[in-house]
Amino acid sequence: MAKSQNIKSLDAIIVGAGFAGIYMLHKLRKLGLLAKIVDAASGVGGTWFWNRYPGARCDVESMFYSYSFDEDLEQEWEWTERYPAQPEILKYINHVTDRFNLRNDIELETSVKSTVYDENNSKWIITTSGDINFSARFCIMATGCLSAANIPDFQGLKNFKGRVFHTGKWPHKNVNFSNRRVGVIGTGSSGVQIIPEIAKQAAHLTIFQRTASYVAEAFNRPLDESEQAKTKKNYSEIRAAAKKTFGGFTNVANDQSAMDLSLEACREKLEEGWQAGGNSLMVAFNDIADNENSNMRAQDFVRDKIRQAVPDLELANKLSPEHLIGCKRLCLGTNYYETYNRDNVTLISLGKEGVEGLNADGVIVQGSIFEIDDLVMATGFDAMTGALSKIPIYGKNNVSLNDSWAAGPRTYLGLMTYGFPNLFIVTGPGSPSVLTNMLPTIEQHVEWIAECIEYMDEHNIRVIEPYLKSQDDWVKHGNEIASKTLRYSCSSWYLGANVPGKPRVFMPFIGGMPAYREKCSAVVAMGYEGFKLSKNTE
């Protein structure tokens, strides 16, 4: 517990200086609240601060991976490429921080040691690694969905004598791989981006692949002024239309089943989707994610693309995924498959057993040692709950969030959880979050939370907490929808399957953005239906 002389009293504390935390601070300031952000990093940007590995780039188009809350900001910022590279995103979030003069309320290099609810005073006590601790009526967790690195417990890792990196915790200096033998474990979105970059530099690159990935060509390119001007002219209309789509993306699904066409006609449409770049392939038809036969047509199409890119049939087969496409998140790449044609690149298929371990010299797979100088783990994240589970959070009756969520996360709307009054989560489990374009999704949550706090103050309400029943009903509803989808069937991080021992629960809400937004608005319209609101006098 914090020492009382060091406690600074605030209206709200925000944990995390990523896109969610920055906008939250801006909104709360506008309401006249005293709020601060704390973040362990030495700069703002959240996931984009940490994921600075070579090739790191967003797979949502830059013009829509941006805030919409301020028209001037929207109009003045110039993006340089279709898909923004990490340095440009970091520059953007720094620009926003300065533009709205937020920096003086951000405590960097300050990690949260514990967050404890003081029931008598209805306040959260936040103990930090810094000199100041905080007490605040509201605690807002803007800790991100993909921010806690998943570092597998490889046997013998500590004996490895070379350099070890994780894509999600990349050093702040240039890492030179020239003349080095490099091993990469992991072929998800991060691996797919870093592999072609390391291959260009390293003496030799060995990739250890447990599951092959479907990788759509990004077709990244510079953005010219006229293209930007055209989008900027119609920004609000385009963004409004995107909010009506399942994932809040700008490309609207072709309203047709892949099975309605002959195989030849179907492949023509898939080719159009492929050439449009990014996730356009997945929306070439309206049922690739839902109908096994349609999905199979899209799978076959990508497997053919792999065979075209990689003439060595055995190698192409090793790179060809067998699972449903879109079940794990579709990766976007640039020359990913072609990289395997290089003489300095070797692919090792691990099979289900994975990596056996490491010794001083390298990676051990089925008894063979693959000697390397550097190991890069592109092994992903303890998604959606990892960042929260690392902070000791104690709610009512001193119950910890980790205990409450021992069988998987439970929230009402992904925004709040029973037993933790006045603690909000931005894009928490139980909300569409990672299945959508994160920027509009973050904005919706931040605005909902700010509106809720404003309502509470206007109505003399001190505390908000979901009823257990509303939470149970929401979790049940989410599970019912998820269990009928194809995505439920594969071992993805959506289900926590990438972290040994993590409960298998489909964490994001998969009912789509429009239905979710409607539900959130309806809850507000009904006077925060499903939440217990307690007055100041109670």
Is residue 152 involved in binding ligand NAP (CB under 6 A)? yes
Sheet holding 163-166, edge to edge: 163-166, 374-377, 181-185, 204-209, 345-349
By CB under 6 A, residue 319 contacts ligand NAP: no
Of the candidates 97, 379, 417, 422, which one interacts with ligand NAP according to CB under 6 A?
379
Parallel/antiparallel/unpaired status of strands 368-371 and 531-535: unpaired
Cα 248 from Cα 432, distance rounded (Å): 10
Which residue, 155, 188, 182, is CA-closest to 381?
Answer: 188
Q: Which range, of 66-74, 318-326, 378-386, 440-448, touches ligand NAP by CB under 6 A? A: 378-386
Site for ligand NAP in 466-495 (CB under 6 A): 493
If one asks whether residue 357 binds ligand NAP (CB under 6 A), the answer comes out as no
Sign of CA dihedral 25, 26, 27, 30: positive
x/- track of binding to ligand NAP for residues 424-463 (CB under 6 A): ----------x-----------------------------
Rama region for 213: left / alpha / beta (φ>0; ψ in -120 to 50; rest): beta
Residue with tokens 């439920």: 488
Q: Pairing between strand 35-38 and 7-15?
A: parallel
Residue 183 interacts with ligand NAP (CB under 6 A)? no
Asked whether position 191 contacts ligand NAP by CB under 6 A, the answer is yes
Residue 351 C-beta: closest distance to ligand NAP, Å: 10
Nearer CB in complex with ligand NAP: 58/456: 58
**Interface with ligand NAP includes 52 (CB under 6 A)?**
no
Instruction: Please choose, out of 248-256, 274-282, 375-383, 525-533, the segment that lies near ligand NAP by the rule CB under 6 A.
Output: 375-383
CA distances, 74 to each of 64, 234, 317 (Å):
10, 11, 45
Stretch that binds ligand NAP, among 52-60, 128-136, 310-318, 469-477 (CB under 6 A): 52-60
Question: Which of 421, 453, 423 lies closest to 119, judged by CA?
Answer: 421
> By C-alpha distance, which of 38, 245, 14 is closest to 136?
14
Q: Which of 329, 410, 487, 517 binds ligand NAP (CB under 6 A)?
A: 329
Q: Which of 66, 128, 133, 189 is in the footprint of ligand NAP by CB under 6 A?
A: 189
**Per-residue contact string for residues 250-279; x = within reach of ligand NAP by CB under 6 A:** ------------------------------
Residue 59 or 443 having the CB closest to ligand NAP: 59
Residue 189 CA, chain-centre distance (Å), reads: 11
| By the rule CB under 6 A, 185 interacts with ligand NAP | yes
DSSP assignments along 7-42, one per residue: EEEEEEEEE--SHHHHHHHHHHHHTT--EEEE-SSS
Q: Does 138 bind ligand NAP (CB under 6 A)?
A: no
- Contact window for ligand NAP (CB under 6 A) among 86-94, 180-188, 220-228, 423-431: 180-188
Q: Which run of H or E residues covers position 332?
A: strand 331-333
Binding site for ligand NAP (CB under 6 A): 57-59, 146, 152, 167, 185-191, 193, 210-211, 329, 332, 350, 354-355, 378-381, 434, 493, 498
